[in-house]
Amino acid sequence: MSKQVDGQIGTVAALVRSTFLVNAVYADSAREYGLTQQQGQLLCVLMAQPYGMSELGAVLRLAKSSLTGLVDRSERNGLVQRKPDPEDSRAVRVALTRQGAKLADEFYTETCRRIEELTSGFAAEERETLAALLGRVVMDNKVPTVFLEPGPTR
């Protein structure tokens, strides 16, 4: 096991530990909005557009049975609805309800604020460098769009 030298940690440890940090912030935010972390992820994904069940499973990396349970619970809570797929009469698309869209927007805005706060001690230039490097990791590894870009372009 390698040791930390002068407060510096390596790339692997930094990425893994930052993942834990962001997940904890995300989970705390979800809990405060009465959501599970997975429901929060579902709402954020659906902010961009409705998805078919197989597409949604791939984006969220959930098995079919887990996804069905998640969508069922979210539907019972009035957050999402299943609509017929206009291109395939056997399939459905999952979309946010009006209530789900409102909650998603509030949850998303607060979660963005909390995550942005993690780098509040950084200069703007440092934030841009961090975003560029992490963005490259995400793009190089073809990570699906599970969270929209905050700001006016959203």
Q: How many residues are listed for the chain in this entry?
A: 154
60 or 147, which is more confident = 60
23 or 149, which is more confident = 23
**pTM listed for this prediction:** 0.84
pLDDT number for residue 153 = 46
100: exposed, middle or buried (C-beta count within 10 Å: 0-12, 13-18, 19+)? buried
pLDDT number for residue 152 = 52
List, for residues 105-145, the tens digit of each pLDDT value: 999 999 999 999 999 999 999 999 999 999 999 999 988 77
Tokens 């793009």 belong to 139
125: exposed, middle or buried (C-beta count within 10 Å: 0-12, 13-18, 19+)? exposed
Q: What is the C-alpha separation between 39 and 70, in angstroms, rounded? A: 7
- What the block records as the tokens of 96 is 């946010």
Q: What is the C-alpha separation between 87 and 143, in angstroms, rounded? A: 26
- What the block records as the tokens of 74 is 């979210």
70 three-state secondary structure: helix
Q: How confident is the model at residue 151 (pLDDT cuts 50, 70, 90)?
A: low
Q: How confident is the model at residue 88 (pLDDT cuts 50, 70, 90)?
A: confident
Spell out the domains of the chain, with CATH numbers in brackets.
11-140 (1.10.10.10)
Contacts of 25 (CB under 8 A, 6+ apart): 111, 114, 115, 118
φ, ψ (nearest 5 deg) of residue 59: -65, -45
